Structure 1
Amino acid sequence: MLKLRLKKCGRKGQESYRIVAMPSQTKRDGRATEELGFYNPHTNEANINVVRVKARLSQGAQPTATVANLLKKASIAI
């Protein structure tokens, strides 16, 4: 099953996350199928490729709870 989830990047104490599509069995920081945006929790900044996210959702990808909240804030229907 394909999941939309966060992939950790950045250095210790200054983490940021990429929003990616990857199989659910893959490790958190493993190889992603596609990068769909990023989220910085320190500045509360999110940049999401809306067209690609909607395409992945229509193909059956399931967002995690955190990604679903980010999509809701960006007004993207799940």
Structure 2
Amino acid sequence: MSTSMRLKRFGSKKRPYYRIVVMDSRQAPSSKTIDEVGQYHPVENKEKQVIVDAAKVKSWLAKGVQPSATVKQLLNKQGITIDRTVQE
């Protein structure tokens, strides 16, 4: 199963918030998730915008989960680097 870490939209019109979730990459964005690893509130002030469980994120990344471009940017802002080593 190929998994990805991406955003799942919640909230009302013009007041969105997102959950950072791990799910099967072939499923629709509104389908069932495997795990929730954080939240992103773009409307909030800078301190409360991104809430991430770093331990969960690192364990999922170690298992080979591919983060989306937006999630990768959010994790980099939080200081969580995505290290990809080439396996031969």
Q: What TM-score do you get using the length of structure 2 for normalisation?
A: 0.86
TM-superposition CA deviations, 1:27-56 (whole Å, max 9, x none): 112111000010011124110000000000
List aligned pairs for 1:45-56, cutoff 5 A: 45-56=49-60
Q: 2:64 aligns with which of 43, 54, 60?
A: 60
Q: CA deviation at 1:26?
A: 1.1
For 2:86, the equivalent position in structure 1 comes to none
Structure 1 stretches of 4+ with a deviation exceeding 4 A read none
For 1:4, the equivalent position in structure 2 comes to 5
Q: Percent identity?
A: 37
5+ long unaligned stretches in structure 1:
none
5+ long unaligned stretches in structure 2:
83-88
Larger strand percent: 1
The structure with more radius of gyration: 2
Over the aligned positions, Cα root-mean-square deviation in angstroms equals: 0.8
1:29 aligns with 2:33: no
Provide the aligned length of Structure 1 versus Structure 2.
78
